C-alpha cells in the first residue's frame, strides 16, 4: 500500500519509524519540537521551521530534544552521543549553517573512526535543507553537498522524491557512519506515492528513472525533475534520454554512471550547485577517466554559475539549471 505524501511528510514518517524501532534514536535540533509538549495552554508545537518534525515530540517526548541555536554545540554533542551508543538524528535547519558547525563534522564525526584505528562508530545523521528555489537568498539557499561529499568519512545523500526520501533516511539513520541527508528545496513540496511501512533505499545506489538510448541525463535531488522535463521535450524531437538519479553522492554509484554512458555514449550532468570542485565535475571526470572509449561527444555540465544565490525571483530562476539549458547542452553535443 502507498499513499501520496510530500517529501517532508515522508521524512517525518521515516524518523517516526526509526524512533519506534530503535530506542537509541534521538532527534535533536533547533525547534524540532518547537515548544509543543506543553499541555493545556492552547499552544501547539512548530516541529521545525518547515514543520517537518511536527508530532514526533508527542510520540517520543524524551527523545526529541529542542536545542539552543548553537549549531556547533548541537552537532558536536550529537557526535559525542553517537560515539557512546546513541543514534542521533540532527536537524541542521539550512545547510548554509554548515559554517557554524563544520569542525564537529569535518574533524570529529568524519575522522574519529579512522584516527582511532577503526575502534569507533559514529551513527549520526544530519538532516539539512539544501539549495535554492524559495527566494531565501544567499545565506539560506546554497547547495553544499559537494563539500561534505568530498570529506572522507562522511556519506552524503540527496533524494529526489518522497518515496526515496523515506527509504534513504531510514538507511541513513541505521548506517553506522555519519550521513549528511540533504532535503532539496526544489522537491520539498513535491508529492509522490510513498509505500507504507518500514523499508530502506540502499545508500550508494543510483536509480535509472527513465530509459532511452540516445543520451544520459544525470541528476540528483532537485535536478532529477529538471532532467525529466528536458527528457520529455527531447522525446518530442525524437531524442530518447536515460535519466539517472544519483541519490547518493558519496558513496557514488560509479557503475551506474558508466553503465548508462556505455549505453548512450553521451552524458549531460545537471547539478544545482556551483561548478568548481563540484559533483558535476566529478561525474564528468569519471566519464573521461573510466568511460573514455564509450564517449561519442564531450561530457557537458549544467550547473549554477560561480556566484552566490541571488534573491530576486527572475535572477534565482535563471541561476538554477532549467530544462532549456539541459536541452541546449544536449544539442551542443551535436
Partner 1 sequence: MRPTPIESNPGRSQNTGQNTGESSAMNLTREQLLDAYRKMRMIRAFEEKLGELVAAGKMGGFMHLYAGEEAVAVGVCAQLGQRDTVASTHRGHGHCIAKGVDVGAMMAELFGRASGTCKGKGGSMHIADVEKGMLGANGIVGAGIPLTTGAALTAKLKRSGGVAVAFFGDGATNQGAFHESLNMAANWKLPALYVVENNGFGEFTPTEFVVPVKDIAVRAGSYAMESAIADGMDFFDVYEKAGEALEHCRSGHGPVLLECKTYRFAGHFVGDPLVYRSKEEAEDWIQNRDPLDRFESHCVEAQLVDADDLRQIDHAVQEELEAAVEAAEAAPFPDLSEITTDVYYTPPGEGGAR
Residue 229: how many CB atoms within 10 A of its CB?
A: 16
Q: How far is the CB of 117 from partner 1 (least distance, A)?
A: 3
Q: How far is the CB of 181 from partner 1 (least distance, A)?
A: 16
Among 9, 15, 18, 64, binds partner 1 (CB under 8 A): 64
Q: b/e for 61-83, b at 16 or more Cβ within 10 A? A: eebbbbbeeebeebbbbbbbbbb
| Separation in Å, CA 30 to CA 11, 26, 34 | 17, 14, 8
Would you state the cell numbers that stand for residue 222, as one nine-digit string?
A: 532537485
By CB atoms closer than 10 A (0-12, 13-18, 19+), residue 200 is middle
> Is residue 190 part of the contact set for partner 1 (CB under 8 A)?
no
Fill in the per-residue mask, 192 to 231: x = in contact with partner 1 (CB under 8 A), - = not in contact: ------------x---------------------------
Question: Looking at 178-230, which runs of residues are DSSP E strands?
Answer: 179-184, 191-195, 207-210, 215-219
Q: Smaller CB distance to partner 1: residue 78 or 225?
A: 78
The contact mask relative to partner 1 for 67-86 (x = CB under 8 A, - = no) is xx-x-xxxxxxxxxxxxxxx
140 a catalytic residue? yes
C-alpha 181/C-alpha 224 separation (Å) is 17
Query: Is residue 279 part of the contact set for partner 1 (CB under 8 A)?
Result: no
Cell 528536458 maps to which residue? Answer: 230
Which of residues 7, 15, 18, 26 is near partner 1 by CB under 8 A? 26
55 binds partner 1, rule: CB under 8 A: no
Catalytic residues: 140
The binding site for partner 1 (CB under 8 A) comprises 26, 37, 61-68, 70, 72-86, 88, 103-104, 107-108, 112-121, 152-153, 155, 176-177, 204, 251
Amino acid at each position: 500500500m502507498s499513499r501520496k505524501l510530500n517529501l517532508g511528510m515522508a521524512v517525518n514518517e521515516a524518523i517516526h519509524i526509526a524512533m519506534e524501532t530503535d530506542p537509541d534514536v534521538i532527534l535533536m535540533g533547533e525547534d524540532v519540537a518547537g515548544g509543543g509538549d506543553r499541555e493545556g495552554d492552547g499552544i501547539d508545537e512548530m516541529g521545525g521551521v518547515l514543520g517537518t518534525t511536527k508530532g514526533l515530540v508527542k510520540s517520543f517526548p524524551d527523545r526529541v530534544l529542542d536545542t539552543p541555536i548553537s549549531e556547533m554545540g548541537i552537532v558536536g554533542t550529537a557526535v559525542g552521543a553517537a560515539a557512546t551508543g546513541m543514534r542521533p538524528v540532527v536537524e541542521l535547519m539550512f545547510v548554509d549553517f554548515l559554517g557554524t558547525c563544520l569542525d564537529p563534522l569535518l574533524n570529529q564525526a568524519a575522522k574519529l573512526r579512522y584516527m582511532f584505528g577503526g575502534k569507533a562508530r559514529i551513527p549520526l545523521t544530519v538532516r539539512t535543507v539544501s539549495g535554492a528555489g524559495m527566494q531565501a537568498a544567499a545565506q539560506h539557499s546554497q547547495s553544499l553537498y559537494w563539500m561534505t561529499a568530498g570529506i572522507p568519512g562522511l556519506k552524503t545523500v540527496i533524494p529526489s522524491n518522497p518515496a526515496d526520501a523515506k527509504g534513504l533516511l531510514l538507511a541513513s539513520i541505521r548506517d553506522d557512519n555519519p550521513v549528511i541527508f540533504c532535503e532539496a528545496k526544489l522537491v520539498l513540496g513535491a508529492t509522490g506515492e510513498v509505500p507504507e511501512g518500514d523499508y530502506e533505499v540502499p545508500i550508494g545506489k543510483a536509480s535509472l528513472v527513465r530509459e532511452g538510448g540516445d543520451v544520459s541525463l544525470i541528476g540528483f535531488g532537485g535536478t532529477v525533475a529538471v532532467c525529466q522535463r528536458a527528457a520529455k521535450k527531447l522525446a518530442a524531437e525524437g531524442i530518447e534520454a536515460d535519466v539517472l538519479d544519483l541519490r547518493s553522492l558519496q558513496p557514488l554509484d560509479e557503475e551506474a554512471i558508466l553503465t548508462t554512458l556505455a549505453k548512450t555514449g553521451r552524458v549531460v550532468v545537471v547539478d544545482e550547485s556551483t561548478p568548481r570542485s563540484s559533483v558535476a565535475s566529478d561525474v564528468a571526470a569519471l566519464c573521461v577517466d573510466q568511460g573514455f572509449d564509450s564517449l561519442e561527444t564531450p561530457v557537458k555540465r549544467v550547473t549554477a554559475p560561480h556566484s552566490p544565490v541571488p534573491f530576486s525571483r527572475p535572477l534565482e530562476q535563471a541561476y538554477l539549471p532549467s530544462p532549456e539549458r539541459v536541452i541546449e547542452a544536449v544539442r551542443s553535443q551535436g
